[in-house]
Chain A
């Protein structure tokens, strides 16, 4: 085999290398200093910052790694603005989640095991970073499994409540079924084309005669694996239970970062494998083997409608946000539905907005439930008057989730809808918009609990530490700031819609 260009490949995957190194550092620190774990979160933060630096340094780069001419000319890993963007999003989410974990009561209770906790988080991170840039079926599967295994453990990590174990077990059962199907799909696809690199598969699909039914079967199986991670209907059943049972930082992490990684992988899979060319308006010309659009429209609309309708009845805040995150997965898929670069642009923008507002909302919910010990919606009754420092940011996050101006959430939704109109999918647009109206109802219900209830003895007054206040306020201010001055975000996302 030809390894002459290995050093070039290594310099292209510096972020992944950095994550692996810090993973090792955390594990060894945990072994050496078995009593004092105070520094571990800070090491984790440092690692994220270093990784983030490497990602930013690679931002404009377009290259591939581990291309071996004789075996695999396309390479294993693609480094392009698209993947760098998603890596950055995932790292930002991870940084916020580390802060989450540092102030979460659930995680403080397992102080002794925090080494494992952060090591596993890094495992998830490594899986996700590989997922967003993998262009080889084998690496895709490995990355997805790495992410999954680490997150199964983390979902049940605290072991303090029965629900923890329940969440973990449910996640494993659903997850292994889904990844089993995905692996089956991958093997069929390999059988059909004889190659594992996505670009080579694309060429093979265009040049050779392939049975459409077999191909569709394998593609749908692969989609099951990814749909599971995105929590798209009908692969969403695990979501509410796992979100409710997991420690809150992990719930937040799953709802944002792992969703982002799976979406990126899905986009890359469709874009690389099935798109023949991109026309002058940015629309993708699929060589018509498999009808992606119909499949995605159905999945996306069902996802958002079911998520929103079920969220209406929830009394548990975590469950409510779990269903709301299912609905948002539907909106995110809308960006892929249109099969155009405009759509991907809108989706990437939406993801950034979703990251800030959803993590912000979860952060506030965590601070409240740490104090009250449960996550019932009645816990927040009247806190608008006793704890405005949490209630006002939460209001901003909710307004943004509902897509009301002047917030980042509105700008993001607007771009999605612009993409959908641009593709002339009027009926899809109308269903999506009706969904927005439905979602307003349950978001406003949270507002109602916060502000419309009388303040009495049962009303919580929550003391918030300075650092928590700062994080929440910064997130809330970002939401408003990007809602009014979105030019910089437009520029940034626009430059990131470039594929290898």
Chain B
């Protein structure tokens, strides 16, 4: 695979697709759809090729040599800029066990969401153009190894999301779109401050033997690169590392979303069209936790250890609060949105353990949450397309009317609850085992386990309210799933079941990297 720009293709195929979509004539809606489908299918193939050539024994994380599919080109380089010295920014891409599962997940979710977007009637051309731009930016975030590049892709995601919610959303779409925009922008600003602070604190050895300030994430992880008096250098007794860490964490926390930054999520979800909910829950929420693992943890290992209890605390708050809020919902989609907050809490708790088991569980939970929640939102979409309402109390007895559909609902619900044999169970178990093993967050873990109970509570209650009992007359003519909907749900259900039985398919991808991350966190600056 040497020399084949796989990651660049992964990012720029959707951009090319977007341009094609924009150039297509106005009434060629089907061509637009097939172009998008083709692009996402191509990405899926690329991701498969990537996995086939993936070296399971390479760690990555902080070591440039063990990253795979590396592409490194000097993007901006200027000598002697007004006394800043050389300004250089690299176009630096690479994959390790941390990003590979998430890239795989994104390609799957984007492909399925394209199918789900088939029914979009209002200006499909604009929709798919924005969708592809979002796709490109997401891939960019997952493969960037330069902070500047990462930030650019991170911010590029903002605008397509704003339009996708604001134009194609539900009744209160404008409010939801603006809220999402402002929250994420505020988070982005925190990230920007930390980024510039890091830039001025560390230098990187260039090929010609001189040193220059750097945005290179791997160089920023190496403590020997830091200047003695940098504002974010650990060796500087008056450093701002704690504040920078919190700022950066807040930027990522908005995306997760972590309590108390979560309030945009239910609004955005409820107002977003189904495919966007799927992408939002399936992929975009993972960007927050991915960012923490990729940037916050290895660059600030000392602060991470210091604050791990608080990370765990917020994780547990997310779990319990999300579950309680979900229970109180009358709107099906809002319920799933809050359950999603709850499930992202598991990821945080697993990360807080800083142990190999916990982190494996956290990343696996990210993957599983992506597939399961995507399924749940598709399920809501199916019923909303038919009945044009999402009120939990408006339904009942759908099991008899739509048996195939209810079958998938059962798989998804039980996977979300964490029934053994389905994928959700494996990751939740790993998270709890990992977190329980760490003395300092043991109490938190026990409280967090409450989430399983609450989760079972609201999920089963929903199952009962919507699918069991007596069917109201007005829903007597609802049709069961059609072929397109089956094509979306079947692969996700298969993934859920197969990963429940053979979790090592995904776990093996990440284990080496997780181990090296855990070791790095334990030894650096200790």
User: Which residues of A are interface residues toward B (Cβ below 8 A)?
Assistant: 280-282, 340-342, 344-345, 385, 399, 404-406, 410, 414, 417-418, 421-422, 424, 429-430, 433-434, 436-437, 440-441, 444, 447-448, 451-452, 485-487, 490-491, 494, 497
Contacts and interface: CB of A to CB of B under 8 A. Distances in A.
13 contacts: A280-B83, A342-B82, A385-B123, A385-B126, A406-B156, A418-B196, A436-B189, A440-B182, A441-B182, A448-B177, A451-B167, A452-B174, A490-B76
B178 A444 contact: yes
B447 to A, nearest CB: 35
Contact of B181 (A281, A418, A444): A444
B181 A440 contact: yes
Interface of B: 76-78, 80-84, 87, 123, 126, 151-152, 155-156, 158-159, 162-163, 166-167, 173-174, 177-178, 181-182, 185-186, 189, 192-193, 196-197, 199-200, 231
A282 B82 contact: yes
A490 B81 contact: yes
A39 B407 CA distance: 77
Nearest to B190: A433
A147 to B, nearest CB: 29
Nearest to A413: B192
A341 B83 contact: yes
A405 B83 contact: no
A405 B151 CA distance: 8
A441 B197 CA distance: 26
A345 B173 contact: no
A405 B196 contact: no
A406 B152 contact: yes
A340 B84 CA distance: 11
Closest 6 CB pairs of A and B: A282-B83, A345-B82, A405-B152, A490-B78, A342-B82, A433-B189
Contacts of B80: 494
Give the interface SS of chain A, mostly helix, strand, loop or mixed: helix
Given A418-B200, A452-B166, 7 more contacts: A405-B155, A410-B152, A410-B155, A418-B196, A422-B84, A440-B185, A494-B80
Contacts of A341: 82-83
Contact of B163 (A281, A340, A342, A451): A451
A433 B195 CA distance: 13
Nearest to A406: B152
B240 to A, nearest CB: 8
A308 to B, nearest CB: 13
A231 B273 CA distance: 44
A437 B186 CA distance: 6
A399 B185 CA distance: 12
B13 to A, nearest CB: 18
B87 A490 contact: yes
A418 B199 contact: yes
A430 B190 CA distance: 9
Given A345-B81, A494-B81, A422 B200 contact: yes
B209 to A, nearest CB: 21
Contact of A497 (B76, B78, B82): B82
B167 A452 contact: yes
A421 B195 CA distance: 11
Contacts of A491: 78
Given A345-B81, A422-B200, A494-B81, A487 B185 contact: no
Contact of A421 (B82, B167, B196): B196
A487 B74 CA distance: 11
A399 B163 CA distance: 13
Nearest to B76: A487
Contacts of B158: 404
A494 B78 contact: yes
Contacts of B192: 414, 417, 433
A281 B182 CA distance: 36
Contacts of B78: 487, 490-491, 494
A399 B81 contact: no
Contact of B166 (A342, A410, A414, A448): A448
A42 B182 CA distance: 45
Most interface-central of A410, A437, A497 (chain B CB within 10 A): A437
Given A433-B189, A437-B185, A487 B196 contact: no
A447 B126 CA distance: 14
B167 to A, nearest CB: 5
A473 B181 CA distance: 26
A448 to B, nearest CB: 6
A341 to B, nearest CB: 5
B18 to A, nearest CB: 12
Nearest to A388: B126
Most interface-central of B81, B123, B156, B162 (chain A CB within 10 A): B81
Contacts of B156: 404-406
A481 B136 CA distance: 18
A452 B159 CA distance: 14
B174 A448 contact: yes
Given A441-B182, A452-B166, A399 B159 contact: yes
A284 to B, nearest CB: 12
A404 B160 CA distance: 12
Nearest to B87: A490
Contacts of A344: 82
Contacts of B83: 280-282, 340-342
A404 B76 contact: no
Nearest to B181: A444
Given A385-B123, A433-B193, A404 B159 contact: yes
Contacts of A404: 155-156, 158-159, 185
A3 B460 CA distance: 97
B166 A451 contact: yes
A198 B83 CA distance: 26
A385 B82 CA distance: 45
A417 B189 CA distance: 11
Contacts of A418: 84, 196, 199-200
A277 B133 CA distance: 49
A321 to B, nearest CB: 20
Contact of B178 (A414, A422, A441): A441
A447 B189 CA distance: 21
Contacts of A385: 123, 126
